[in-house]
Structure 1
Amino acid sequence: MKILTLIAGVLALLLLLLSGPLYQAEILGLMNAFLAMRIALIVGAVAIVLALIQVIFMRKTLSWSATGVAVICAAVAIVIPLSMMNKAKSVPPIHDISTDLVNPPKFVAILPLRADAPNPAEYQGEEIAKQQRAAYPELQTQKYQQTRDQVFDAALVAVNTMGLELVNSDKSSGLIEAFDTTTFFGFVDDVVIRIQSDGQMTLLDARSKSRIGKSDIGKNAERLNGLIAGINTHLN
């Protein structure tokens, strides 16, 4: 049974670790990649049960090293999918986040890159705005005393610091466009920053939208919060 336990634990971990790369390599579709993660969780749970049976009933023949490796592999295969599921349940199933919910910044240079994206570039309006207000009330238009050029330069530095892929930087129109690629699944999220003068204040709005998927599991809001924090740091 110790060999079976070890195989189950290692298999669970491999299923988890390969689900993302196999999706990126277009060997698995998105639904099958998610299915692989769920199977990894189940196989991991089986490995844990087998390990417990050995610890309780088969101590004399127990290999602590093999069982330990199996449990560690299985635990990783269980914890990561569960954490993702719990995070998905804790945030609204939306994928388009903006600091301006009435007149969100529009993608311009990025539009050709989204031509084949399942999620349209257009903002879907009050249906998602209401959900965002409840989940991310902190994401609002940012107001600065600094000049438009100073805020633009700080935003550009923040974009580069975060490792976003710059697509367009137009100081005359106050627009910065970039995209971010997630590490594991390689999902692409697009970002647009709009900087405008309003009397003696400079207004900054930012928007982050996924090209694929219904829920972003909070990633776009997290990105905008990080971007705003980076801009504030560079301006202080």
Structure 2
Amino acid sequence: MSHRLARLAFALACLSAPVVAIAGPMHRYLGVDRTIALDVFRYGFYIAAAAIALALATVVPTRPGDRRRGFVAAVLALIIAGAAAWAPLSWLMHAYRAPDLTDITTDTEDPPKLVVTLQMRQRATNGPAYPGHATAELQHAIYPDLTPIRLNVPPAEAFKRVDHVATEMGWDVVARAPADGRLEAIAISPWFGFRDDIAVRIRRDGAGSRVDIRSKSRSGTSDLGVNAERIRTFARHLLAGQ
């Protein structure tokens, strides 16, 4: 009986891996709804968890010995299912800890406006407007380090640096308006292809420039901290050029 359960664990493990792997491409390349794709991702984890439970229950009874079978299947099930479960488990744990924020900016009083990217949000489930005071307070409490970026160069030179950093970070730049001090771009996540809209604003600040950036997710109730980390990376690269 144990060897049959071990084989079942192996079969479930082999099923869980492609279920987890296909969830992202389903959304990114086939246009499957985000909710459905995430459900597939989650169900892949459940299948992997069931495989791990069965494998743990059978790995000892099937250990090498007289007339015992199924040990190899149980061990392989643990390895495959463990690998398959890792990505969704880490994602779920991150989602549990992450705040309900999807719109992050260095200027919560006057966020950079979405202009060109606004026209690209027809299928977005998150509205284009900045959420308001409650979001600003939560952001300041969780990400107090996200403040305007000040450069010791005039706006024209600051714009060139902003453009260079945006390209370096792999963003899809969709609007360059140096006269307005505005650059807009889209960041696409590598697996699921989730799209975040980015607006950067450059203004004169004394003899230098002030750069503000806004990164806004098109869907979801939490960005899992991605937008804040994107802004930190952008600021770090931009300041490195000084």
TM-score range relative to shorter protein:
over 0.9
Instruction: Give the structure 2 partner of residue 155 of structure 1.
Output: 162
Query: Does residue 44 of structure 1 match 2:48?
Result: yes
1:115 offset after TM fit, Å? Answer: 3.1
Matches within 5 A, 1:1-236: 1=4, 2-26=6-30, 28-59=32-63, 60-64=68-72, 66-233=73-240, 235-236=241-242
Flag as ranges the 4+ runs of structure 1 deviating above 6 A: none
Instruction: Structure 1: state its 5+ residue gaps.
Output: none
| AA of the residue aligned to 2:227 | N
Task: Return the letter of the residue paired with 1:156.
Answer: D
CA distance in 2, matches of 1:156, 1:55: 56
Normalising by structure 1, what TM-score? 0.92
Q: Is the 8 A contact 2:153 2:208 kept in 1?
A: yes
2: distance between equivalents of 1:29 and 1:156? 32
What is the total number of aligned residue pairs between the two structures? 234
Secondary structure (helix, strand or coil) at the match of 2:60 reads: helix
Deviation, 1:141, is: 0.7
Q: 1:162 to 1:5 in 2, by over 3 A?
A: same
Residues 56 and 78 in structure 2, CA contact (< 8 A), matched pair in contact too: no
Secondary structure of the structure 2 residue equivalent to 1:12: helix
Unaligned stretches of 5+ in structure 2?
A: none
1:61 alignment partner AA? R
Q: State whether residues 59 and 71 of structure 2, in contact with CA within 8 Å, keep that contact through their aligned partners in structure 1.
A: no
2:129 maps to amino acid? E
Return the TM-score normalized by structure 2.
0.90
The CA RMSD measured in Å over matched residues stands at: 1.6
> Structure 2: how far apart are the matches of 1:131 and 1:26?
35
2:89 and 2:35 mapped to 1: Cα distance? 17
Give the share of equivalent positions with the same residue, in percent: 32
